[in-house]
Chains A and B, each alone.
Chain A
């Protein structure tokens, strides 16, 4: 029985480096090959990380590839994942793994019929801070959760990404690009969403690229860039959620849950770490001892040190395959998140309350002990 599964990465764009740099972090995965339609991009990452570069078709034919890591642009996710499943490979996809729930159900059925696993980012909800929040929710630290707020608002992606076009096409926008991090964390904390209502807007018809070889070029905006939604969870909790790329500055916290007996302040689900705060009544309460490896600042972004354990969900899926248990960043969980995002999109477009058809079990909690078991 193998205890390390071979990973074949398809899509050598910006995000591939973040995955390859975590190669030595997690024990059940090993990168063996990379592929891209652009051979130069594949060759660059192969040389940098000591793996082989090849065509996507050759990668799918490799016997040492157990899991295909699909990092292609969102619009290509479903086709690449389908080809990988057809080739008999497990698949872990960047989010969103499909652009609509019907395509998602098709992929789930294909994976199930072949006895293969399908998983999807985001995996930031496995971060040490979000798992502490999960522990506190499960322990009843704020009682029954009545309501909450969740905000992800900034001024977009074109100022830092050299090819930001896909952010402003269907499958992108703040709802589909950033929404998965926030919705996934809400669903792991609160369970499935049952119904949504929403309003949306687009502030600018075009965006101007701010870096790279295409600097100064205007690109079209084909998606809403501001979305405000009200989410009704099956548990009875209601959450006010806003995602926008039309906001220059604001003072709102990324996530807060209001319970019968207190408030849980949850850090930004775009990251694995950050400060969790608990208040009961109006008093700040000391947090329990929480030794979790996915809290450690191991990377930097423009705002300073951050904990980045991207690929934790992939490692968990590999370990789940080895152990014959279910994986946390599962296809059913990801499908529910996409179902909710599409419901928000539709609610805004049709000016109606949309019922969410799918449900999802909350993924198993990942405490420090379970997280350490995934590491080298």
Chain B
């Protein structure tokens, strides 16, 4: 049983149908023990199926899902988590997140944050967290739930958008940051500094970016349908970067956001 989110996870966006199940199973064969899905990805059934077919013990694999922005209303939140449990064919989900803060003026923040707390109290989620929450909303959520309840904040973090204020804030509250688009949609592969560090280690620039995040205590969930890419991302865990290399990567930050905040809040 994982009592914390494993730092290496497999993103499952786009892994639909039988091909999707096969790709997720391949991920589990490679060694991934943390699968990241969401109600809005449509991949909860594929994650559940791949997990059952893998023969792995339930407690060995950490499953994260996210409640869709349009399911945050009082009448929808808990039924949507019940549906996730059915789609995943699980008795309990390891980690349930609010995917985005609501953009519906009729859906109160307090309502869905309270519902997030309830699903943990009801035993439907072992751990709870949020996604795309800036510091101000993390503080508001903590005021409602009490300290120590939020386990993660899943946000965009990559070498060109290091989100340091948010990462530092999370650390100060024992919240594990989780990075989506950790490879900046392929842009890390073109960066000369990452390439140079990668050469020293006989690794790829993508592996260096993932290792840098994990060294900072940030969980990563790279998504790929390609076996070689999945394997290479997974192997980033063995890479050890020096303090000097960490400093060089820290200097790459330029506030370059990939996922635009179309349903998002005002970012830090």
Q: Are A64 and B18 in contact (CB under 8 A)?
A: yes
Do the beta carbons of A4 and B69 come within 8 Å of each other?
no
12 contacts between A and B (CB under 8 A): A4-B42, A6-B14, A6-B16, A32-B20, A48-B186, A48-B187, A50-B14, A62-B19, A63-B19, A64-B16, A298-B261, A375-B70
CA distance A295 to B103 in the complex (A): 12
Contact flags (1/0) for B3-45 with A, using CB distance below 8 Å? 0000000010111111110000000000000000011111100
Q: Would you call B16 and A376 a contact (CB within 8 A)?
A: no
Taking A21-B258, A32-B15 as given, write out 8 further A-B residue pairs in contact, using a Cβ cutoff of 8 Å, ordered by the A residue number.
Answer: A4-B40, A21-B185, A47-B186, A50-B14, A50-B225, A293-B103, A375-B103, A376-B40
Q: Is the interface of A mostly helix, strand, loop or mixed?
A: loop
**Chain B interface (Cβ < 8 Å from any Cβ of A):** 11, 13-20, 38-43, 68-70, 99-100, 103-105, 185-187, 189, 222-226, 229, 258-263
Nearest B residue to A24, CB-CB? B259
B69–A375 CB distance below 8 A: yes
Asked whether, in the complex, the Cβ of A50 is within 8 Å of the Cβ of B11, the reply is yes
The yes or no answer to A149 lying at the interface (CB within 8 A) is no
Q: Quick one: closest A residue to B263, CB to CB?
A: A375
A interface with B by C-beta (< 8 Å): 2-6, 21-25, 27, 30-32, 44, 46-52, 62-64, 291, 293, 296, 298-299, 308-309, 369, 372-373, 375-376
C-alpha spacing A47/B15, complex, angstroms: 15
Nearest-CB residue, chain B, relative to A66: B16
By Cβ-Cβ distance, the 6 closest A-B pairs, closest first, are A4-B42, A64-B17, A48-B186, A298-B260, A50-B223, A298-B262
A27 touches B70 (CB 8 A): yes
Q: How distant is the Cα of A2 from the Cα of B69 in the complex, in angstroms?
A: 18
**B17-A52 in contact (CB<8A):** no
Q: Whole-angstrom distance between the alpha carbons of A3 and B43 in the complex?
A: 10
CA distance A296 to B264 in the complex (A): 10
B185 near A49 (CB under 8 angstroms)? yes
Out of B68, B104, B105, name the residue touching A27 (CB < 8 Å): B68
Known A47-B186, A62-B19, A373-B70: A299·B40 in contact at CB below 8 Å: no
Q: Is the CB of B263 within 8 A of A293?
A: yes
Contact A296 B225 (CB under 8 A): no
Please state if B69 and A64 are interface contacts (CB–CB under 8 Å). no
On chain B, the residues within 8 Å of A25 by CB distance are 262-263
Tell me if A291 and B260 are in contact (CB < 8 A): no
Q: Which residues of A contact B189 (CB under 8 A)?
A: 47
State the CA gap A291–B106 with chains docked (Å).
11
List the count of A-B residue pairs having beta carbons below 8 Å apart.
103
Give the residues in chain B near A32, CB-CB below 8 Å. Answer: 14-17, 19-20, 225
CB distance from B219 to the nearest CB of A (A): 17
CB <8 Å contact, B103 and A372? yes
Question: Which B residues lie within 8 Å of A6 (CB)?
Answer: 14, 16-17
- Most-contacted residue by chain B among A2, A48, A62, A293 (CB, 10 A): A48
Tell me which of A27, A44, A309 contacts B40 (CB under 8 A): A27
Choose among A4, A21, A291 the residue with the greatest number of B CB atoms under 10 Å from its CB. Answer: A4
Task: Specify which chain B residues have a CB less than 8 angstroms from the CB of A48 in the assembled complex.
Answer: 185-187
In angstroms, Cα B11 to Cα A31, docked, is: 13
Q: When the two chains form their complex, are residues B42 and A31 in contact, meaning their CB atoms are under 8 A apart?
A: no
In the bound complex, how far is the Cα of B262 from the Cα of A309, in angstroms?
Answer: 8
- Interfacial chain B residues near A30, Cβ < 8 Å: 13-14, 16, 41-43
Q: Give the distance in Å from the alpha carbon of A271 to the alpha carbon of B16 in the complex.
A: 31
Contacts of A63 in B (CB 8 A): 17-19
> Which residues of chain A are within 8 angstroms of B186 by Cβ–Cβ distance?
44, 47-49
- Output the nearest chain A residue to B66 by Cβ-Cβ distance: A376
Cα–Cα, bound, A372→B71 (Å): 11
Q: A50-B222, A375-B69 are in contact. Are A21 and B40 (CB under 8 A)?
A: no
Bound-state Cα–Cα, A2 to B104, Å: 24
**Which residue of chain B lies nearest to A63 when distances are taken between CB atoms in the complex?**
B17
Once the chains are docked, how many angstroms separate the CA of A373 from the CA of B189?
Answer: 36
Chain A residues with CB under 8 A of B224:
50
Do residues B16 and A4 form an inter-chain contact, with CB atoms below 8 A? yes
- Provide the residues of chain A in CB contact with B222, threshold 8 Å: 50
Tell me, rounded to whole Å, the shortest Cβ–Cβ distance linking B70 to chain A: 6
Which residue on chain B has the smallest CB distance to residue A6? B16
B104 lies within 8 A of A372 (CB):
yes
Q: How many Å from the CB of B104 to the closest CB on chain A?
A: 6
